Amino acid sequence: MNANLRKFKQDQQGFSDHIRSAEQSEAISGIEDRRLNIYRELFFNNVEGFVSSTFPVLHELFNDEQWDQLVRDFFVTHKCETPYFLEISEEFLQYLEHSKLDFLPAFSYQLAHWEWMELFADVAETNDVSEERSEIHLSDQLTTNDCTWNVGYDFSVQKISADFVPEEPETTFLIVHRDADLSVGFIEINPLSMLLFEQLKGNETQSVETLLSSIAKQQGIELDVIMNGGLEIIRQWGQLGLLKAC
């Protein structure tokens, strides 16, 4: 790289450093501060807008000063790799997982992940479209369709708001689903149902009966109980459009 391009690179380094953080970088000589301030504000406000629109619940848990500090720390310290605007929220998640800010509650990352899941489910490109299955037979070979996503958290993230901030962890399993009309919903399920869902998800050839029997065996629960309960749950999932033939 010749001397002129080296200067070109240095100029960009200095300018971008200054936009990221005027405090932590050198002043730029020859440019009025009010002009630099336009850039500082435009850039920060743009990123803040993306973050607050994807994470409104997280936002409402903090006062203005804390939120500003959080978004600013992300803006200054996190190197964003994605050229896609809807993925800025993923970049923020990655930042949040390792953030050292001391006012962040223990559930912050998981809450943010839950909020991000809603966006993710809304825009995911999948080959499947949700279809209702009104009848389920024990001999059916079923799996979950591509518009369903199961997640587990240590906190009841779906309940968190400014009015409800959990003190204690509470293991929570949720299924996010995108319906035939392309709207996104979710259901809360118990650990056993989560296990069943995961079995179905990875299922390629087994019948409902076989799947339920192996769960009964694994978990040491009476076959009758699992058969009846399991079939009922699978029927509900069928009606919600979460399943498809293998």
Partner 1 sequence: MALKGSGLGLRRGMLDDLSALTSKDVDFLEVAPENWIGVGGRYGKAFRAFTERFPFACHGLSLSIGSSDDLDIEFVKSVKQFLDTHGIETYSEHLSYCSHNGHMYDLMPIPFSLDAARYVADRVKQVQDIIHRPLILENVSTYAMLGDGMSELEFMKEVIQRSGCKMLLDVNNVYVNATNHKFNPDEYIQSLPSNSIEYLHIAGHFDEAEDLLVDTHGADVKPQVWALLKLAYECHGVLPTLLERDFNLPTVTELLSEVNLIKQYQQEASNERQLA
Which residues contribute to the site for partner 1 (CB under 8 A)?
A: 2, 4-5, 7-9, 11-13, 15-16, 19-20, 28, 31-32, 34-36, 38-39, 42-43, 46-47, 50, 78-86, 88, 121-126, 178, 182-183
User: How far apart are alpha carbons 174 and 240 in whole angstroms?
Assistant: 14
User: How far apart are alpha carbons 123 and 245 in whole angstroms?
Assistant: 24
- State the minimum distance, in angstroms, from the CB of residue 93 to partner 1: 16
- The rounded Cα 125 to chain-centroid distance in angstroms is 15
Burial of 202 (0-12, 13-18, 19+ CB in 10 A): exposed
Residue 33 or 222 having the CB closest to partner 1: 33
- State the minimum distance, in angstroms, from the CB of residue 119 to partner 1: 10
Rg (CA), the chain: 24
Rounded to the nearest 5 percent, the helix, strand and coil shares of the chain are 55, 10, 35
- State the minimum distance, in angstroms, from the CB of residue 224 to partner 1: 41
Amino acid at 152: G
Residue 79 or 98 having the CB closest to partner 1: 79
- State the minimum distance, in angstroms, from the CB of residue 172 to partner 1: 24
Residue 41 or 232 having the CB closest to partner 1: 41
Residue 151 or 227 having the CB closest to partner 1: 151
